[in-house]
Structure 1
Amino acid sequence: MRALFHLIVLLAVVFVEASASDGIDDFTYHGFGSANVSLDGVAEISPNGLLKLTNSSTQGKGHAFYPRPLRFRAASGGGVSSFSTTFVFAIVSEFSDLSGHGLAFTLSPSRGRPWSLTQQYLGLFNISDNGDASNHVFAVELDTVQSAEFDDINDNHVGIDVNGLRSSSSAPASFFSEETGRYANLTLMSGDPMQVWIEYDDAEKLLNVTLSSTGAPKPRRPLLSSAFDLSSVVFDSMYVGFSAATGQVITNHYVLGWSFKMNGEARPLDPTRLPPLPARAPRRRGKLLVAMVSLVCALFLATVASGTVGCYLRGKMFEEILEDWEATYASHRFSYRELYMATKCFSDKRLLGAGGFGRVYRGSRNSTEIAVKKVSRESEQGMKEFVAEIVSIGQLRHRNLVSLLGYCRRKGELLLVYEFMPNGSLDKLLFDQPPKSALGWSQRFRIIKGIALALHYLHEGWEQVVIHRDVKASNILLDGEMNGRLGDFGLARLHDHGGDPRTTRVVGTLGYLAPEVPMTGKATTSTDVFAFGVLVLEIACGRRTVEAQGPPEQQASEVVLVDWVWQCCGRGAILEASDPKLGGNYVVEEMELALRLGLICSHPEPATRPSMRQVIRYLEEDAPLPEMSKDGGAITAS
């Protein structure tokens, strides 16, 4: 009888707590056995109260929303109310190193996302509406697959999404440790429960997202803290809930507990009252299955595309706008469909490299290898003018230039198509190889000469002056015979011989930027020469433009390559700057020539730098290098 009495009391307490906390703007669920949630897709609640957003099916998506819309504005047209939520989740995959694809907390104008897709779309968007401002969807994603098309930073990150899956802010999954004073990594797909706190302060227009292991105190510092105004996204009333999706990797996305409060701090969750996760089966390594998974995904997409909805979405996906003025450049324009197929849907497996201005993919077209660059650009220059320059640059022909074959334009997105260089970029061969595999000096000196010839052609050898504006090691590509070729003309600008280059915003890569560029905003042939000088020093020294000095556990100082070589030159020991990986196997006269030439070309005074015509004379030893002297403590070329 006493046991029965205690059971009745316990049930009464649970009932009272649920009734008190399950208000229209304040609710707390320790498990979901009797929770007031609306499910769709493959989402379900397990017998012990776990919310399972996905299950053992592939290509699945699931949604769980609080069933009634919450009022996010006190009055129509007023400000968005502050809110706070916390939840405990776990991502359990059949593999230890593969997962699919993540889950998200979301505010949505509708309960569920019926037209959304699985895989990288997380059950939130589809191909045609991703990024559309009319979605009015806010989400915090816990993403376990890196999607290149959304510029994901890695395959284990937290991101803030507005109307699409290209996150406005993101960070690798981690938490701030008071013990070390640093952020410690967490693995989202580890299968271990973790807790998230999402807090929006309308007065401060500030959004904080915090992550931690379940049971640990809430970290003092959030993982993401972003100035954020939700007023343009959130309607007066919105639904709150979760969405998750898988691809071909079976993954269970669980939510163990959830607390939400409008205009206040969400009630804390008690880890001891959360339902336990199922016992884990031994997990296999899945990297060997990636090729098979990719194939199956491709077959699945092909099957979807054969249906009515698939046809509609595919049509939207490849939709292009061809304006009248582009008729002039028709022979240089590639279709988006053509490039999409050539790169196997811009597959991560085809990714050659990525940087601040875009991603480059390997493609195959008519049995010819190509490289396709998706340009990330926010230029004030008109698209028509930009395309005109790109097509003009496509007419350049030189054995030390990577040929630009054409372009593709789609919904403001710009893609540049180049011939493929099989031996990759110079920076990887210079900096990422062990000493035994280092480039030999004869190859390096030939590359220096080849790039010099290419820049001379751009500056003086064509009908217009072409300023490259981004000469650097990663833009030097090597063909099948290891000849250096200058590529990536996405930032290049043209002007007539004798004309004045236009003033533009500052673009380029730190370390290669001439000191006058930030002050004038003007790129010239002399600023290209400066970058070439830095490149020559990198090739000769085997060091990057800026490198940290000192042990990593200490505050390391930075060494600027150009300054360091000047110091070696100033004390009469310039050969000390040569790459130690060469082991002294170089022609002394050529090495000294390269080091001194790099210093002269990267001189801080533009008037001291030679033209590329003069550079070629120095390299061919048709003219002596200027003497290097020390004047007033500063090394100058005299």
Structure 2
Amino acid sequence: MAAAHRSLLLWMVFNVYLISFTSALDENQFIYHGFSESKLYLDGTAEILSNGLLQLTNATELQMGHAFFPFSFKSNVSSYKSLSFSTNFVFGIVPDPNNKKSGHGMAFVISPSLDLSKSKPTAFLGLFNSSNHGLSTNHILAVELDTVKSAEYNDINGNHVGIDVNNLESNESATATYFSDKEVKNITLELASGNPTQIWIDFDETEKLLNVTLAPIRIPKPNRPLLSTSIDLSQIFLDSMYVGFSASTGELVSGQYILGWSFNKSGQAQNLDITKLPSLPSLPARGSKKRILKIIASLIVAVVVLIAIGATVYIFQKKKYEEVLEDWERQYGPHRFSYKNLYKATKGFNDKELIGEGGFGKVYRGVLPSSNEQIAVKKVSHDSKQGMSEFVAEIVSMGRLRHRNLVQLRGYCRKKTGTYISL
């Protein structure tokens, strides 16, 4: 019984040890292919999108975003243990399609605190403010991916990588390039290209050497780093430090993203499997904005032309059927026909409907559209020597006559161009 009890006790001790070891492993080594299942500490504009993409900044001006692994790692500065670390992540900076220039950049950060809320955006990259910039009490190491040239920090250009300690005037910086092992030369990379880019940051405590290596996402880690700097992290780190990212925007904006992240406090970080990473938002094709504006302009012109054509047709149709109607004619209302009805009845006074022609005008056959009655319409050019009112009065009087040898006069219609009589 005692032996069985001892076995159970040993099993329990072993499991407690295993749990502690696993927890330590989780806190000092991790890998994320997308961040859907992560428990990162986020603030500012930082958020995890539905596809697992970590978005640090969006298209909002003068903002900053931070994302940190929530557990600190023990740097053990006081006990003089190894400070070596290794990290590998894939980032993407998608510029605002409305501007040729990108907003401010982003940085990988090792900080003694998760709280960077008092920092400022723009050129401060969400890391410092005007009162603490450059202070040794910051205890911050950053590798900046800067897309704006800030003269106050002696930036070399608007597309560079820099190693920063407690301030943004880099200890060392270089234009963003990667070494092609195949072509045996450096090739320029555009940080704000909208394409995913991979970066490796490795610190060897024995040599006190920090290496930063850059490459397009599908290129293996080059043999030659972009930056290689001697640095004593024991003078910077505290016993407990946090790792994460910081990014900011200014008056110009860009979307800044992390697709995947691997970190190891005590050895080489695991390689990311790029096939498991989420996709960046697509960048509009070059010139697409101009094409859209041209299409919109063309549509506006087309609408204006159509409106003009419609208005012209309406005015033409209105004038086409326009009649002359004066106050004195109202007493003859029942004897008046609309010109539009007579026009339709005679098919536009078509010559095929012509049934006679005399000295006073032409006569056309017609069918009234409202009643299908057959009528004859005489088109008379009125002689202006006779008063118009007297002429119409005579026509109406004739309409009152009834005789078996006379066709009944039904009424009249009057236009400026002539008088039309319906029989």
User: Which TM-score band applies after superposition, normalised by the shorter structure?
Assistant: 0.5 to 0.7
1:93 aligned to 2:95?
yes
1:203 aligned to 2:206?
yes
- Post-superposition offset of 1:281: 2.8
Answer whether contact 1:104 1:141 (CA < 8 A) is retained. yes
Letter in 1 for 2:186: Y
- In structure 2, the residue matched to 1:533 is none
1:39 aligned to 2:30?
no
1:158 aligned to 2:150?
no
How far, CA to CA, are the matches of 2:108 and 2:100 in structure 1?
A: 24
Letter in 1 for 2:239: D
In the alignment, which of 242, 251, 262 is matched to residue 245 of structure 2? Answer: 242
Letter in 2 for 1:48: N
Q: Whose strand fraction is larger, Structure 1's or Structure 2's?
A: 2
**Aligned pairs for 1:558-577 within 5 A:** none
**Aligned pairs for 1:224-623 within 5 A:** 224-282=227-285
1:146 aligned to 2:146?
no
**Aligned pairs for 1:86-125 within 5 A:** 86-95=88-97, 97-125=100-128
CA pair 20-71 structure 1, distance change in 2 beyond 3 A: closer
- In structure 1, the residue matched to 2:339 is none
The total of aligned residue pairs comes to 267
Q: Whose helix fraction is larger, Structure 1's or Structure 2's?
A: 1
Q: Deviations over 1:402-449 (max 9, x none)?
A: xxxxxxxxxxxxxxxxxxxxxxxxxxxxxxxxxxxxxxxxxxxxxxxx
1:60 aligned to 2:91?
no
How far, CA to CA, are the matches of 2:189 and 2:267 in structure 1?
A: 28
Answer whether contact 2:104 2:253 (CA < 8 A) is retained. no
Of structures 1 and 2, the one with the larger relative CO (CA 8 A, separation 6+) is 2
TM-score by length of 2: 0.61
How far, CA to CA, are the matches of 1:31 and 1:202 in structure 2?
A: 30
Secondary structure of the residue aligned to 2:152 is helix
- In structure 1, the residue matched to 2:135 is 132
TM-score by length of 1: 0.41
Task: Determine what percentage of the aligned residue pairs are the same residue.
Answer: 51
How far, CA to CA, are the matches of 1:43 and 1:150 in structure 2?
A: 25
How far, CA to CA, are the matches of 1:112 and 1:258 in structure 2?
A: 21
Question: RMSD of the alignment, in Å?
Answer: 1.9
Gaps of 5+ in 2: 1-21, 290-423
In the alignment, which of 191, 212, 216 is matched to residue 213 of structure 1? Answer: 216
Secondary structure of the residue aligned to 1:215 is coil
Answer whether contact 2:30 2:262 (CA < 8 A) is retained. yes
Answer whether contact 2:83 2:234 (CA < 8 A) is retained. no
Letter in 2 for 1:249: L
How far, CA to CA, are the matches of 1:168 and 1:67 in structure 2?
A: 28
How far, CA to CA, are the matches of 1:110 and 1:284 in structure 2?
A: 44
| Higher radius of gyration, 1 or 2 | 2
How far, CA to CA, are the matches of 2:79 and 2:24 in structure 1?
A: 28
Answer whether contact 1:22 1:28 (CA < 8 A) is retained. no
1:83 aligned to 2:85?
yes
Gaps of 5+ in 1: 1-18, 287-638
Q: Deviations over 1:150-182 (max 9, x none)?
A: 000000000000000000000000000112211
- In structure 2, the residue matched to 1:538 is none
- In structure 1, the residue matched to 2:190 is 187
- In structure 1, the residue matched to 2:311 is none
- In structure 2, the residue matched to 1:476 is none
How far, CA to CA, are the matches of 1:276 and 1:234 in structure 2?
A: 34
Letter in 1 for 2:89: F
- In structure 1, the residue matched to 2:299 is none
- Post-superposition offset of 1:21: 11
How far, CA to CA, are the matches of 2:233 and 2:80 in structure 1?
A: 12
Secondary structure of the residue aligned to 1:231 is helix
How far, CA to CA, are the matches of 1:275 and 1:58 in structure 2?
A: 25
Answer whether contact 2:106 2:247 (CA < 8 A) is retained. yes
CA pair 48-20 structure 1, distance change in 2 beyond 3 A: farther
How far, CA to CA, are the matches of 2:30 and 2:84 in structure 1?
A: 15
Letter in 1 for 2:267: G
How far, CA to CA, are the matches of 2:102 and 2:277 in structure 1?
A: 24
Q: Deviations over 1:375-417 (max 9, x none)?
A: xxxxxxxxxxxxxxxxxxxxxxxxxxxxxxxxxxxxxxxxxxx
Secondary structure of the residue aligned to 2:71 is coil
